[in-house]
Amino acid sequence: MNKLGLTKPDGRYMFLYSRREIPRELRAPSPDGTPVRADPHLRWHPLRGEWVAYASHRNNRTFLPPPEYNPLAPSRPGDFPTELPAGEYDAAVFENRFPSMAPGATAKPDVGVPSRPADGVCEVVVFTQDPKASLSGLELEHLELLIDVWADRYAEISARKNIQYIMPFENRGVEMGVTLHHPHGQIYAYPFVPPVPARELELQREHLQQHGRGLLEDMAAAEIAGGGRVVAVTESAAAFVPVCARYPYEVWVMPRRAAPSFAALDARERKDLARTLKTVLMKYDALWQRPFPYLMVFHQSPVNTREYPEAHLHAQIYPALRSPGRLKYLAGTELGAGMFANDCLPEEKAAELQAVKVNV
Amino acid sequence: MNKLGLTKPDGRYMFLYSRREIPRELRAPSPDGTPVRADPHLRWHPLRGEWVAYASHRNNRTFLPPPEYNPLAPSRPGDFPTELPAGEYDAAVFENRFPSMAPGATAKPDVGVPSRPADGVCEVVVFTQDPKASLSGLELEHLELLIDVWADRYAEISARKNIQYIMPFENRGVEMGVTLHHPHGQIYAYPFVPPVPARELELQREHLQQHGRGLLEDMAAAEIAGGGRVVAVTESAAAFVPVCARYPYEVWVMPRRAAPSFAALDARERKDLARTLKTVLMKYDALWQRPFPYLMVFHQSPVNTREYPEAHLHAQIYPALRSPGRLKYLAGTELGAGMFANDCLPEEKAAELQAVKVNV
């Protein structure tokens, strides 16, 4: 993997990644050259026991792009500058110009509950230069490169000593609120371990202490042995509809051993994970012959805090649809009580995905 | 309040509520007379430590209603039967025909994780006979009746000894996934304390132990004293944008003292709560001169378990929109990490709601 570090005119950092050599003369553009003034803060929610981020500058976007403007496409001479340079590379990472968390944040308003600067990191990961591509349609080697990119980001962001949790994710489709259709994901790096992974790790730790094996290792092994909910499996990676799926078509993808992060995967495991993930995403898109909207999040080990022998890198994919035209809404019981109600049995949805044949 | 208990042809119970006398000859109709065969179950989610409900019968609705059919309107002679009788009453409650949880559930499938019957209760609460009305537009006395209805349901459902948590809620608007536009809410009664209220109660208990006062009592008092985020206040009730709002325009409504449930409110407090709630809902609808979509959940004390001196009845209202045409999506950081990112400061949204004048 080749990597080139750049700085945008407004001060944000950018990295280009490629399987081939990257021309050293590339320069990082920005749609807006004025320095970023993000100063988001966190407030403590005393009734839920969690931090909430406030980034009111995000609503003050004065930039008015021309119609059809794609800020994630490579810049073209004479056109309005985008976030990406023209040139030879496969993927790009840069700081979000309108971040929910920002490294230099200092705000700590006196509001009656504890508050602190939201000094995390929000990165955009552009998966490819091709605006019409999708993660599922990328060549296997390109997806392998993206796994290297996620591993690189994990290692590099970990060097910021205030960061405790690094979460890559992809929101895909208008159903998920996505307005930029160029294939891309994001990485949020938090100055604390957020409640969802914190809770998962707590339960993983209990399982490890009781059984001497990882919870997700055991779940993956049981799914592979049973077979009924498996969606894809390779020598070192597995994908399945979990027995406790909260969303119709929910799938988890993971290395079969408890590798704590992307950075901990060896070359063979990265290849297997790429192939397994690509199989799932291709099945999704082939299921109804349309791009399948979803949220995909990667959970991995916290950093710069205690040891987490219980951590196990995995993706959880939450599809937005129940059927081709019907959304899965989160409403009263999901948001108000935290009990998900699923109209579909995981076994039925797994069988549907199993029946879809794809050529990875 | 007058109340009449009925049984539908398919075996479901129904209650009519009214400020006036209810004709005793009313009979409960059903769109479908065949007995309900719901047998939902719960599976344990070992990675999140929570129950997930599976009700696959919900997808097998064979009933094909005529166009424009409103199952929540009173039945009319000669037309297809609805869920409601024609006659004199203000509100109706009946068992959901397609429940996520059902009193007679017995299913306990062997799936490799703990499972149990979803033997809860799912009720539909029809707020009024008028299909064009809304909670905000009901007369104050009608809203007071609904508070009596919620109190009655709390008391009556508590008598089922397996039930531990009773949560009334309203999903309002197509943005929340609502397909029936007749004004109505639901009540979910769970055979366990679900994770969201369980977490809230844990933090409320800590606060009570440390300070000798309730967390929400203290928050309401601080908001009333500060004034900057108050939306409505009466002698015994308060509504405000919480300092830690996760949604733009989020509002909490509650009695100012720590009444544990609707059933615990005296007549004066019910009137005040109705007026305070109506003020908030009218402001929402007046803000953009359009029906304001939201999820409103009521949290109250668990039942049939230990004592909860920390419990404090309150509504949390989560609006679906950030601005007239823009949805607040829950995506990567909210669903994947549990950290909400809010582009709006609570103080700004409260000021907007304060500026809306309504005549309650």
Say if residue B134 is in the same domain as residue B242.
no
Say if residue A225 is in the same domain as residue A166.
no
SS3 assignment, position B292:
coil
Say if residue A9 is in the same domain as residue A90.
yes
A177 contacts B207? CB cut-off 8 A: no
Domain final residue, candidates B159, B193, B227: B193
pTM for the whole structure: 0.96
Report the mean per-residue pLDDT for chain B.
95
Model confidence band, residue B127 (pLDDT cutoffs 50, 70, 90):
very high
In whole angstroms, give the CA distance from residue B345 to residue A257. 43
**Chain B residues within an 8 Å CB radius of A338:** 50, 194-199
- Determine how many CB atoms are found less than 10 A away from the CB of residue B8: 21
| ipTM attached to this prediction | 0.96
Of the candidates A113, A333, A348, which has its C-beta nearest B244's C-beta? Answer: A113
Interchain CB contact of A96 with B (< 8 Å):
no
Asked if residue B282 is part of any domain, the answer here is yes
In whole angstroms, give the CA distance from residue B153 to residue A276. 50
User: What's the pLDDT score for residue A156?
Assistant: 98
What residues make up the domain containing A282?
Answer: 196-355
Contact yes or no for A339/B194 (Cβ under 8 A) = yes
Say if residue A176 is in the same domain as residue A81.
yes
User: What's the pLDDT score for residue A63?
Assistant: 60
Which CATH number covers residue A38?
A: 3.30.428.10
**Chain A residues within an 8 Å CB radius of B53:** 333, 339-342
**Chain B residues within an 8 Å CB radius of A202:** 49
Domain final residue, candidates A163, A195, A227: A195
Say if residue B275 is in the same domain as residue B200.
yes
Say if residue A205 is in the same domain as residue A259.
yes
**Chain A residues within an 8 Å CB radius of B222:** 112
Asked if residue A280 is part of any domain, the answer here is yes
Which of B179 and B295 is assigned the larger pLDDT?
A: B295
User: What's the pLDDT score for residue B62?
Assistant: 52
What are the helix (H) ranges across A194-243?
A: 195-211, 215-226
Tell me which of A41, A184, A299, A312 is the catalytic residue: A184
B177-196: average pLDDT: 96
B337 contacts A196? CB cut-off 8 A: yes
**What are the pLDDT digits (tens) for B28-69?**
999 988 887 889 999 999 999 999 999 976 555 556 677 789
Asked if residue A360 is part of any domain, the answer here is no
**Chain A residues within an 8 Å CB radius of B219:** 46-47
Q: Which residue of B has its CA nearest to A167?
A: B337
Of the candidates A52, A113, A335, which has its C-beta nearest B342's C-beta? Answer: A52
Percent over 90 (pLDDT), chain B: 91
Asked if residue B241 is part of any domain, the answer here is yes
Among A186, A190, A183, A156, residue whose Cα is nearest residue A3:
A156
Domain final residue, candidates B131, B160, B193: B193
**Pair of tokens at residue B26:** 């009313």
Give the DSSP letter of residue B212. S
SS3 assignment, position A252:
strand
Say if residue A246 is in the same domain as residue A285.
yes
In whole angstroms, give the CA distance from residue A153 to residue A147. 10
A202 contacts B46? CB cut-off 8 A: no
Interchain CB contact of A174 with B (< 8 Å):
no
**Chain A residues within an 8 Å CB radius of B197:** 337-338
B186 contacts A343? CB cut-off 8 A: no
In whole angstroms, give the CA distance from residue A215 to residue A311. 9
B197 contacts A167? CB cut-off 8 A: no
Asked if residue A137 is part of any domain, the answer here is yes
A55 contacts B329? CB cut-off 8 A: no
A177 contacts B342? CB cut-off 8 A: no
In whole angstroms, give the CA distance from residue B112 to residue A242. 11
Say if residue B185 is in the same domain as residue B216.
no
Asked if residue A123 is part of any domain, the answer here is yes
Interchain CB contact of A351 with B (< 8 Å):
no
Interchain CB contact of A7 with B (< 8 Å):
no
Give the DSSP letter of residue B175. G
Percent over 70 (pLDDT), chain B: 98
SS3 assignment, position A274:
helix
Among B102, B97, B71, residue whose Cα is nearest residue B85:
B71
In whole angstroms, give the CA distance from residue B249 to residue B326. 13
Among A188, A35, A290, A61, residue whose Cα is nearest residue B333:
A188
In whole angstroms, give the CA distance from residue B197 to residue B316. 11
Say if residue A176 is in the same domain as residue A300.
no
A46 contacts B215? CB cut-off 8 A: yes
Say if residue A234 is in the same domain as residue A136.
no
Say if residue A85 is in the same domain as residue A175.
yes
Q: Which residue has the tokens 């300070």?
A: B211
pLDDT along chain A (360 residues), means of 10: 96 97 95 86 98 79 71 92 96 95 95 97 98 97 98 98 98 92 97 98 98 98 98 98 98 98 98 98 97 98 97 98 92 97 96 97
Count up the domains in chain A and report the number. 2
**Chain A residues within an 8 Å CB radius of B176:** 329, 331
SS3 assignment, position A267:
helix
Q: Which residue has the tokens 């509650």?
A: B254
**What are the pLDDT digits (tens) for B214-235?**
999 999 999 999 999 999 999 9
Q: Which residue of A has its CA nearest to B111?
A: A243
**What are the pLDDT digits (tens) for B64-119?**
677 789 999 999 988 889 999 999 999 999 999 989 999 999 999 999 999 999 99
Q: Which residue of B has its CA nearest to A336?
A: B297
Asked if residue B360 is part of any domain, the answer here is no
Give yes or no: B181 in active site.
no
**What are the pLDDT digits (tens) for A71-126?**
999 999 888 899 999 999 999 999 999 899 999 999 999 999 999 999 999 999 99
Interchain CB contact of A64 with B (< 8 Å):
no
Interchain CB contact of A260 with B (< 8 Å):
no
**What are the pLDDT digits (tens) for B241-269?**
999 999 999 999 999 999 999 999 999 99
Strands (E), chain B: 2-7, 13-18, 41-45, 50-54, 91-95, 115-117, 121-126, 165-172, 184-190, 230-233, 237-240, 251-255, 294-299, 314-319, 321-323, 326-327, 340-342
Say if residue B34 is in the same domain as residue B70.
yes
